[in-house]
Amino acid sequence: MGSRVAFDEERCKGCELCVKVCPRGILFLSDRRNQLGYRPAAVRDMDRCTGCGICAQMCPDLAIEVWRARQAAAEPQAPAEAAGRGHSEARGSQLGGV
Q: What is the 3-class SS of the chain, one letter each residue?
A: CCCEEEECCCCCCCCCHHHHHCCCCCEEECCCCCCCCCCCEEECCHHHCCCCCHHHHHCCCCCEEEEEECCCCCCCCCCHHHHCCCCCEEEHHHCCCC
Residues that bind ligand SF4 (CB under 6 A): 5, 7, 12-18, 22-24, 26-27, 41, 43, 49-55, 58-59, 61, 63-64, 66
The residue among 6 and 83 lying less far from ligand SF4, judged by its C-beta, is 6
The residue among 22 and 80 lying less far from ligand SF4, judged by its C-beta, is 22
We find the least distance from the C-beta atom of residue 82 to ligand SF4, in angstroms, to be 26
The residue among 60 and 79 lying less far from ligand SF4, judged by its C-beta, is 60
User: Beta 64-69 vs 41-43: how paired, if at all?
Assistant: unpaired
We find the least distance from the C-beta atom of residue 29 to ligand SF4, in angstroms, to be 7
The residue among 83 and 93 lying less far from ligand SF4, judged by its C-beta, is 93
